[in-house]
Amino acid sequence: MRQDVDVQTRSDVKPRVLLNQDQYDAMTRVLGLTTDPARAEFFGYTDRTIRRARNGSIGEDFIARTVAGFREHESTLKAAGFASGFDEVFLVGRRAA
């Protein structure tokens, strides 16, 4: 399920990737991960990294580990009605520079 963030067209805005938190939580619950510490351990990042992502600060490592982790369990997610790609978990929009 893809949702787009309000995209502005001004030249003083930069692309921004945001975590689709509801989707992330739903997909991780399918994998038996119900807490952020469990999610952090599963994906190989820290609780702090998840907090930062939930607050809008997402790095390339977080994105890569998240997508790779979901792709490893693609059949389980697909059986629950989820895709495992970038567009399933992340939203792309813009923010003022």
The whole-chain average pLDDT of the chain stands at 87
46-55's contacts with Cβ under 8 Å and 24+ in sequence apart are: 53/19, 54/19, 54/21
Confidence category of residue 71, pLDDT binned at 50, 70, 90 = very high
Alpha-carbon Rg for the chain in angstroms = 14
42 part of a folded domain = yes
Is 15's pLDDT higher than 50? yes
Is 34's pLDDT higher than 90? yes
Task: Work out how many domains the chain is built from and give that number.
Answer: 1
What is the residue range of 85's domain?
Answer: 13-96
77 part of a folded domain = yes
6 part of a folded domain = no
Taking phi over 0 as left and psi of -120 to 50 as alpha, with beta for the rest, 56 belongs to left
88 part of a folded domain = yes
Alpha helix stretches (DSSP H) within the chain: 21-30, 36-43, 47-54, 60-72, 74-79, 86-89
Q: What is the pTM of this model?
A: 0.81
